[in-house]
Amino acid sequence: MEKKTIGLDEVLTKYGVPDPKIIGKLPKGGQQLSFVGHADVNKMLLEVDESWTLEPVAFDSDGLPAYRVENGMAHMAAWMTVHGVRRLGIGSCLPNKPDLLKELMSDAIRNCGMRFGFCLSLWTKQEWEDLEHSPAPSKPRPISLVNPPEQAPKQAKPKTLTPLSQAQIDQFNTACEAKGITPKAVALNAGIPEGTPWMESHLPALRSAFKELASFKDGE
């Protein structure tokens, strides 16, 4: 019987946005963080590659996975290999967990899996929401299509025509891929003519268009 496989190029489309039925909620910083358990991610991995592996980057003198504690959290680096492609991820949890190594391995499965596109939409949303509670950087602010930043005070100097940075464009493209929509479709829906360079002044229209198209895709 021929073995059915799913290529890495299909992971983002098939597993980038997880089934709402398997999404759980975890309290974090007064918010409810959406997540998918490691068992469900493990199931997705097996559907893509039955021979996938996860290997800690280092081991201690007892032969157990090595980890370090920094800023009140335990961290363990690990390599995940899927279809022969190896990518690095980090498993993190509180250091006082009774099953510390199991918790670190479970979180590493989720984090490494995200590097391949598994449940990427949840990680992207979390990072955007975290940006709102960070100090404003001096360089161009990262694009946020989830919750637009507050309007600048009236006394602030008017913004100049500043092009979006490559990092902003990459983040925008990743968000579109996670929702199964194309950046071109979002731009056209925002009223930006094809071929026009994207500027900081386009962000409000891009956010609005992204939300509209994403809501349409979620309702399909």
- Region of residue 197 (left: phi > 0; alpha: psi -120 to 50; beta: else): beta
Residue ending a domain, among 70, 87, 119, is 119
* For residue 99, pLDDT beyond 90: yes
Q: Which pLDDT band holds residue 128 (cuts at 50, 70, 90)? A: very low
Evaluate whether residue 64 is within a structural domain: yes
Window from 77-81, 86-90, 96-100, 181-185 with minimum mean pLDDT:
181-185
What distance in Å separates the CA atoms of residue 114 and residue 120, rounded to the nearest whole number?
5
Evaluate whether residue 45 is within a structural domain: yes
Q: What is the pLDDT of residues 55-72, one digit of tens each?
A: 999 999 999 999 999 989
What distance in Å separates the CA atoms of residue 43 and residue 55, rounded to the nearest whole number?
18
Structural domain that includes position 108: 8-119
Specify whether 184 is located in the same domain as 100.
no
Specify whether 45 is located in the same domain as 107.
yes
Average pLDDT of span 129-158 = 51
Q: What percent of the chain has pLDDT over 90?
A: 27
What distance in Å separates the CA atoms of residue 166 and residue 172, rounded to the nearest whole number?
10
Residue ending a domain, among 62, 95, 119, is 119
pLDDT of residue 198: 77
State the amino acid at position 40 in one-letter form. D
Work out how many domains the chain is built from and give that number: 2
